[in-house]
Structure 1
Amino acid sequence: MALRVIRRLVPSGAAAIKAGSTVHTARIHCAARRPLQYGWLAYILGERTTPRLTQNSRIITIDGSLASGKGALARSLADKLGMLYLPEAGVHYLDRATGEAEPLHTRFNGNCSLETFYRNPHAPDGNSYRLQSWMYHVRLLQYSDAIEHLLTTGQGVVLERSPFSDMVFLEAMFKQGYIRKQCVEHYNEIKNISICEFLPPHLVIYLDVPAEEVQRRLQQSGQAHLQNVPLAYLKSIEEAYKKSYLPSISEHAELLAYDATQAHDIERVVEDIESLKFVKGQWAEQDDTSYHYMRMLVEDKPMVASLTCVPNFLPEVTIGAHDVDEAFYAYKSLPGKRYAPGFNMDAGDKQVWLK
């Protein structure tokens, strides 16, 4: 599978949580720096998760259509509640998470393009489904980053969308004829074997902005590839939210919905959140043992990435073994990618022979 390449490239551990974040490191004599990760030994020695959790130790996702104001609400809410804000995962999420100075070529990021999708959603090379498949992949990685941060620090996380709501775009694409039925089946198979490993967010906040208003905002954004997004596609996204995702997620997580005007009243939103009892879902049933296993999973990014790989042939996302090796060695030939960080003279690392 095309996404199988990522199993070799994806970072592991807390390095992927937030670009530029401080990572505690250790040195053994002159060895290279390495992150101190949570593991069995820490659990055996008595480290527990529940003592650091507070009433704001929650995962909150802000959902809605394109240009609905999710980012503004998420940032304001994170600031108000003292939580970590994670921007929406994009095609180049891994580049941002690993601190790349410049985004890498698309061949190392799902081999897909968001701009191409909006300009030509019927592209014959399968870009539309390749994009959707990749977006689910990076959203799953980001969600694991959010849970890792929550369990490691006790600080809650606010993020835009999640792998649980990603399916609204799949339904809209299929309804508009952008992808084939086989793509839907492939996506559902991947989702069914991966999403079950994670608990849904504690709270989902939905911004209800009509499709007509969304299209107007996109046209005013000034971005060329967003000028001609079909209204029918935007209505399909809205319909998928209201008929599929929201009724389903409301059974497992708290749900709040606001229109564009109400979302600006951050004080009201905070009051509504504080009035919730958070009794839905399985978060209330967790203990230190289950948190331990959860934490072991989410810090193992290659393991999380492997959950999205199934050995089924689908032309849109399948590449041959030779192409996989070519992409891998092309990645390794990039400056600073051949060896571990700190050991690449071509990237300006000094005194490599002393490390």
Structure 2
Amino acid sequence: SPSDLPSMASRFLPSLNRGPIGKSEAYMFCGQFSLDGKFFMSASQDQVIRIYDVNTILLKKSTISTANVGWSIIDCNPSPDNKLLVYSSWSPYIHLATFAPQDYDPNEDIDKRLKYIEKHEQLYLNPGNYRFCAFAVRFSPDGKEILAGSNDDHLYIYDLEKNVRTEKIHAHKSDINTVCYAGSSCPNLFYSGSDDGLCKVWDRRQCSTSSSTPVGILAGHSDGITCVTSKGDGRYFISNGKDQTCKLWDIRKMADSAPQIPRASNLWDYRYEAAPSRHARVIHPHDQSLMTYTGHHVLQTLIRCYFSPMSTTGQQYIYTGSHDGIVYIFDILTGQIVKRLYGHSHIVRDVNWHPYLPVLFSSSWDGTCLMW
């Protein structure tokens, strides 16, 4: 029965490397499935976004040539209706590409099935900072706004209907590397993670340029945060940190403030140096997290982490990329590593599990996107 599917399917984790679905001479930075699971989007440093059709046996592809990319595409996100794609780079603009998947005959040519409109809109965030990057971009659950976290310690909210950046919020004391919404059931709630080591919870209804007060703060990482991802229920989320841990949080444990501790990043740079040994790492004395997962390596880039799909695993697992080129899958309750996926020769920056199929794609700096 449908109710038994997650229990049965969760026993069978992705393990067989089916080979690369795509290759590039440049680093792969992002890889995400559309919400309906029909398409997979991969973005790399060669300034190309590749779109794969998951419904065909052979993953045929089309591409979107990006516009005015500085250094690399840093983040991308499909809209809830799968018609728009936002991406960011080192630029005061974020970019909106439009594509419209239509109903199609599976035997039809890919270029006829995917009606790409080669049109890009540049959305000016007006940061007032010459060297600017939106490290993270996310559509709101209703698709009407785009949320961005940036290197100038601010959150930005862009209203797509008004076609203007409406809010600029001084949210953290260091780079904001990651943002995400809590879920469609609570569309006004979102989370942010920063190099100041804090996760913050925000209510869109209380956000304005003149006010930068979150509804709650969660402390526990002893170094900067590279990724926050919601479970989608408005209560739980996970975060990857430069302290080489992934943590599980319950926002019902959040506080109004959090004591600051010296960050380990004051003593080392994760972009160039090896992480301090386990015994040298700073343990946060006021850790509010529910669980801590270790074994993977968060170095050199903003490595992503996620919950496994509800439909096939009941969200029983957490999975993450890693600096050592391995995909790690953790049991959410025990914290144990239940699977390591070997196949890449460089950093796995992003990894995405299909929402309905027993398939996982990993995007690596070795220039490949592997199917498991």
TM-score, with normalisation over the residues of structure 2?
A: 0.24
User: Relative to total residues, which structure has the larger helix share, 1 or 2?
Assistant: 1
TM-score, with normalisation over the residues of structure 1?
A: 0.25
User: Relative to total residues, which structure has the larger strand share, 1 or 2?
Assistant: 2
